[in-house]
Structure 1
Amino acid sequence: MWFVPSVLQGWGLVGAIVVVCGVWQLLRAERFRAYRFLGVAFLLVVAAFAIGGGRTGYGAGAYPMVIAAGCVALTTMRGRWLRIAAGPVVVVSVVAAVVYTTPWRAASEFSPAANRAAALGPSVYSEGGWAELTAATVSAYRMLPATQRGDAVVVTQWYVQAAALDHDREAAGLPAVFSPNRGFGYFGTPPDTARTVVYVGSDEQQLSRWFASVSPVGRMDYRLGIPGITRDVTLWACTGPRQDWSAQWPRMRNL
């Protein structure tokens, strides 16, 4: 149920006030009667992702409508209390923005993230490590025998790893990049001719389900990286897929 407080924290104090005001207006104000369903839809979306353990960005499509309603309502309000409250709210929001969103601390002052949940999202933990991930993958790929590199592909445990590697793939000289994780698993299937894989992440036991041979060929451990994504990551050379990719890939895909 961390979804709701995380959403409010992400919006900041002013944003939270606007959203709460917008929901209230959509549900209660007579002038918004025709749009009352939008307030109900917003609450249902937030409730669905909060109960289901979704991320704050999943319901982003429902936010603009309540923000718009809140802005309309606040601009038409009059009264001394509004002028008195506006000053402190703006000051607190500015201070919060400076403290929490600007790089005023050196990276050396941060400790490694305790877990992946604490490191995901906009933070110092997601800013670095991507170039190092590419370098580690290139090194692992070049360690393969020349006879295997010709039909090799890169597969990653997490979709964010695949996205980062695919972005730099041509410049780095990497082969095609795939991932069975989330939507990336539907972007493409490794060709059946790919008998060798540089697998980024996962573990030997899991990979042995899919490949006849699995051996570690590299390590990625960026100090302020995301655990399991850019920190504490093993790279593997996997050969001999147990089935053709066209049959195996649908079973490997995961959400």
Structure 2
Amino acid sequence: MFSGRYGPHRDELYFVTAGQHLAWGYVDQPAFTPLVARVVSTLFGDALVAWRFPSALAAGAVVLLTGLIARRLGGDRSAQLLAGSAMAVSAFLLIVGHMLSTATFDLLFWTLISFLVVRQLQGADPRGWLLVGLVTGIALHNKTLIAALIAALLLGLLAVGPRSVLRSGWLWAGAGIAALVWLPNLAWQASNGWPQLSLARAIADGSSGSSQPWWLFLPMQLVLISPVLVAMWVPGLVRMWRAVELRPVRCFAVAYVVLAVVFLVTGGKPYYLAGLFPVLLAAGAPLVVDWLRRRSDARAWVSGGLGLSLLFNAVLMLPVLPVRVLADTPVVDVNYDAGETVGWPAFADTVAGVFAGVSRAEQTRTVVVTENYGQAGAIDRYGPERGLSKAYSGHNAYFDWGPPPDTSGPFVVIGFDEDFLRTVFADVSAAATIDNGVGVDNDEQGTPVWITRDPRGPWAAIWPSFRRLG
């Protein structure tokens, strides 16, 4: 219903371009999401609804799996429905289910692996560990963060058991399958100097637009799903630790605590823990259902809580409001990603206007250089219809796709500090300022656009100074 409103997110623009440069890995991610972007953009062109359809399917699968986990954890039909409904109205699922993102598929893989592991720990055919390994190997081609889940679960098994699982040859055979499936990306990382380690350090230092101060990490756990649903997942966490019938899966409670500490200490983003919320909601749902059956007024409280969560989260996380009033609301302050879907056509219009001011004799050699991958992706998406050639950027994987040719120039440069540009070019002049036209204070609003000439050396020499990770 809302997929086509506003516009593409900066990450979506980047993924589509990355999909045109398929590789076993990139400095900031493995290949899964760019591959999905390549498929949908090849089949459906620039249709934004089509770009986001795989994410909607993934979100639906997360809801279904949450209900299935609730069944494995002793929930009846009512508990399964409640767990799935709670996940469906959660803030994090609504936002990642609305856009093409590594986080979308990461949430799906965390939930699927959690379901499979719960099933194995409850006594399923031990050969099922082979499937766990296969899914883990595929998940590692989307985001290496999944390795943290596996490590935390293993630590949980060592700490609270059942340790007998660790003696299963099938488990270690599954681990071998995961490593084998992951090997192409692992080899790419090794041959390129392990760039994702450098990226992780950059994110920990706050270089990502979605990074948060460390002291917000724990409070954000209360709002990632919904403040109302804290009353379900916190009891679920306690139940996983204390309930005798859940003793085989107690390692999930340990994993949550371990990962919370690790991500807090290492500067991880608050949403890194979101992949465990389906399990915690599934564990808490039977407790809420029991409460419903003991109190005559409880149904109204639960229905109201879910409805309030849906209303609150939908307004904040989905493009429900008209874009013209967005700047007058707290939406962008709460939901950074909403702002990053606004203003890209106007952005491209401004750049095209600067390009049009260059003499006709120079236009054939003029190229666009951007400070970040969102800007570059927008030029690659909207530029051709405005007479612009492809963009160059030193941000993340764009850096690896190369600098402008030495025969190019002048340069329409977007962003950067003037002092930096004067160390790179002999001639720098301000040309325009980005304005999205609706007053939304996003990363691009107020960004300067420059015309530069005469690089102070060949691009091979100056290109490293443009590199940025985050």
Normalising by the smaller structure, the TM-score range is 0.7 to 0.9
Q: CA offsets per residue over residues 196-218 of structure 1, 9 Å max, x none?
A: 32111223212112212111122
Kept in 1, the 8 Å contact 2:327–2:441? The answer is no
Alignment of 1:13-162 (within 5 A): 13=227, 15-30=229-244, 32-33=246-247, 35-51=249-265, 54-57=268-271, 59=272, 62-75=273-286, 78-81=289-292, 84=298, 85-97=301-313, 99-100=315-316, 101=318, 103-104=320-321, 107-108=324-325, 110-111=327-328, 118=333, 121-123=336-338, 125-162=339-376
Residue 252 (structure 1) aligned with residue 463 (structure 2): no
Kept in 1, the 8 Å contact 2:380–2:389? The answer is no
C-alpha spacing 1:239/1:102, structure 2 compared with 1 (3 Å): closer
Kept in 2, the 8 Å contact 1:112–1:224? The answer is no
How far apart in 2 are the matches of 1:120 and 1:177? 28
How far apart in 2 are the matches of 1:38 and 1:28? 12
Which residue is 2:414 aligned to? Answer: 200
Once the two structures are TM-superposed, the CA of residue 80 in structure 1 deviates from its matched residue by 3.2
Residue 224 (structure 1) aligned with residue 435 (structure 2): no
Query: Which residue identity does 1:190 align to in structure 2?
Result: P
Which residue is 1:190 aligned to? Answer: 403
Kept in 2, the 8 Å contact 1:134–1:168? The answer is yes
How far apart in 2 are the matches of 1:241 and 1:23? 58
How far apart in 2 are the matches of 1:97 and 1:73? 20
How far apart in 1 are the matches of 2:329 and 2:463? 34
Higher alpha-carbon deviation: 102-111 or 197-206: 102-111
| Partner residue of 2:377 out of 163, 171, 192 | 163
Once the two structures are TM-superposed, the CA of residue 164 in structure 1 deviates from its matched residue by 2.0
Q: CA offsets per residue over residues 87-137 of structure 1, 9 Å max, x none?
A: 342243234245545635673474498xxx8386243x4443111100001
- Segments of structure 2 that go 5 or more residues without pairing to the other structure are 1-214
How far apart in 2 are the matches of 1:71 and 1:168? 43
Query: Which residue identity does 1:71 align to in structure 2?
Result: A
Q: SS of the residue aligned with 2:320?
A: coil
Residue 242 (structure 1) aligned with residue 456 (structure 2): yes
How far apart in 2 are the matches of 1:250 and 1:103? 42
How far apart in 1 are the matches of 2:399 and 2:255? 29
TM-score by length of 1: 0.76
Once the two structures are TM-superposed, the CA of residue 69 in structure 1 deviates from its matched residue by 4.3
Across the aligned residues of Structure 1 and Structure 2, the Cα RMSD in angstroms comes to 3.4
Q: CA offsets per residue over residues 13-69 of structure 1, 9 Å max, x none?
A: 355445434544454445555555544444444445445555444x1xx43344134
Q: SS of the residue aligned with 1:207?
A: helix
Q: SS of the residue aligned with 1:11?
A: coil
How far apart in 1 are the matches of 2:292 and 2:320? 35
C-alpha spacing 1:16/1:207, structure 2 compared with 1 (3 Å): farther
Q: SS of the residue aligned with 1:86?
A: helix
Higher alpha-carbon deviation: 132-141 or 170-179: 170-179
How far apart in 2 are the matches of 1:33 and 1:246? 59
Alignment of 1:2-21 (within 5 A): 2-13=216-227, 15-21=229-235
Higher strand share: 1
Query: Which residue identity does 1:151 align to in structure 2?
Result: R
C-alpha spacing 1:76/1:130, structure 2 compared with 1 (3 Å): same
C-alpha spacing 1:27/1:159, structure 2 compared with 1 (3 Å): farther
Which residue is 2:123 aligned to? Answer: none
Aligned residues: 246
Q: SS of the residue aligned with 2:426?
A: strand
How far apart in 1 are the matches of 2:382 and 2:446? 21
Once the two structures are TM-superposed, the CA of residue 186 in structure 1 deviates from its matched residue by 3.6
